[in-house]
Structure 1
Amino acid sequence: MTVSIGDTIPNLDLTATGGRSVKLSEYQGKHLVLYFYPKASTPGCTQEGQNFRDAAEAFAAANTVILGASRDSLKAQETFKAKQGFNFDLLSDQDEALCRAFDVIKPKKMFGKDTVGVERSTFLIDAAGVLRQEWRGVKVKGHVEEVLAAARSLATSPPA
């Protein structure tokens, strides 16, 4: 099943930094930004994570939690989080269950070769666990500000 706007998100078991097992339902009561990136410790993914890190207090003020996700190993995620000082958890989705649920595995061209990988995408989920907004094929510059504006709007609007 692929999640679409207006759907309740699946309650998958996920591995988060810190070696914790989490379920997306644990975040109900708060809004959730779930962003997918292609590969930990690469330039674009590092910049995107730093932008979310730097805006984390503003997201918290909007009752919004941030989670980053990729197909990287937990060890790679731990290293990435520590090196960049991320103040939010990263999810290791090596079995691609979360990626498939949000349909972010896409065909890509890399160095002239056809491959498949994670399309940089962000999803805004409300406090009831319903997908409210999505951004696909994200360009890093200005993206976090756009997501923050949407989170602030969600935080101030009455529940649907």
Structure 2
Amino acid sequence: MAVELDKPVADFQVQATSDQAVSLSALKGQQVVIYFYPKDSTPGCTTEGQGFRDAYADFKAANTVVFGVSRDSLKSHENFKAKQEFPFELISDKDESLCQLFDVIKLKKLYGKEYLGVDRSTFLIDKDGVLRKEWRGVKVPGHVTAVLEQAQALNNA
């Protein structure tokens, strides 16, 4: 069952960089930003990740942890994270369990070919595990600022 606004998000357990197992239940008490992106080390995904990296201290100040998610391997994620100096973890979703939970796999077209790919999307979960905001079909410019503003507002609510 996919996530719904203002409803609790089902607990999940996934593998992330730095040899971390991430579960939503273990993050209770903190807000969580999960951003889905198509592929490591591609221009848009790099720019988006850099945006979250550059605003990381502000997210932390708003009691918010950030995770990037794609279907790339942990090895690919470790390289991407190190190269871009991301202070947050990247989740490998090879089996697409998180992609399915958040309903971000969409039919896409590239050079006339259709394929199923990750729709650039971001989700803000409150400290009680409830989905409070979602952004789908994200355009990178200005996106991180919009997410940060919502996280700050939610934290101060």
| Alignment partner of 1:47 is 2:42 | no
Which secondary structure does the structure 2 equivalent of 1:129 belong to? coil
Which consecutive residues of structure 2, in runs of 5 or more, have no partner in the other structure?
none
Which consecutive residues of structure 1, in runs of 5 or more, have no partner in the other structure?
none
Aligned to 2:59: 59
**CA–CA distance in 1 between the matches of 2:7 and 2:77?**
28
Counterpart residue identity of residue 119, structure 1: D
Which secondary structure does the structure 1 equivalent of 2:26 belong to? helix
Measured on the aligned residues, the alpha-carbon RMSD in Å equals: 0.6
Residue deviations 1:27-54 (CA, integer Å, cap 9, x gap): 1101111000000110000000000000
Q: How does 1:6-155 map to 2 (within 5 A)?
A: 6-155=6-155
Q: TM-score, normalised by structure 2?
A: 0.98
Counterpart residue identity of residue 11, structure 1: D
- Runs of 4+ in structure 1 deviating by more than 6 angstroms, as ranges, are none
**CA–CA distance in 2 between the matches of 1:20 and 1:59?**
20
Which secondary structure does the structure 2 equivalent of 1:146 belong to? helix
Counterpart residue identity of residue 112, structure 1: G
Counterpart residue identity of residue 98, structure 1: L
**CA–CA distance in 2 between the matches of 1:29 and 1:130?**
11
Q: TM-score, normalised by structure 1?
A: 0.96
Which secondary structure does the structure 2 equivalent of 1:58 belong to? helix
**CA–CA distance in 1 between the matches of 2:137 and 2:145?**
16
How many residues were matched structurally? 157
Shifted more, 23-32 versus 126-135: the winner is 23-32
